Structures are given as C-alpha cells and as structure tokens.
Amino acid sequence: MKKDLHPKINTVVFKDISCDYSFLGTTTMHSSETVKWEDGKEYPMIKVEISSESHPFYTGKQRVMDTEGRIDRFKKKYGKK
C-alpha cells in the first residue's frame, strides 16, 4: 500500500453560526481555531452556515411556495395568444 495516500481523519467540533449549535464529528478538513468540548478535551473548530439544527427540512419550518402565482405567470408569458 502506498504511504501517505489517504488524508488524515480528524475529530473536530462543527459550529453552526446561524443558531449557535455545536456537534462533534470527523472530517479530513483542518482548522487553526480550537474550542474546549464537553469532555474537557480541546478540538479544532470548523464553522458551518447550516446544519440539521437550522436547515428548514429538519426543523419543519419550510417556506410555502406560491405555485399558483408562478403557474399563472408562466401561462401569461408562454401561453397561446
């Protein structure tokens, strides 16, 4: 097997900046920022913009799309004249 072929897997803390939620996970990404986790150890921290805690699909706060208005605009623009 070739030496140094695969990237090193690190345990890091992902922090959702939109709702101040953090979770521990593994990744091949690197970060210079560190944070002390609940177990007392210090881990690198990677900031993310969205996670399962803030994503509309998981929170149930999805936007209701105005499909009727979109269909009417389409028919108006491309419908038979």
Whole-prediction pTM? 0.64
10 Å Cβ neighbour count for 43? Answer: 20
Q: What's the pLDDT at 81?
A: 64
Tokens standing for residue 72: 């009417």
User: Residues 4-61: pLDDT tens digits?
Assistant: 898 899 999 999 888 889 999 999 999 999 999 999 999 999 998 888 777 666 566 6
Q: What's the pLDDT at 61?
A: 65
d(CA 47, CA 53): 14
- Listed by start position, the domains of the chain span 10-78
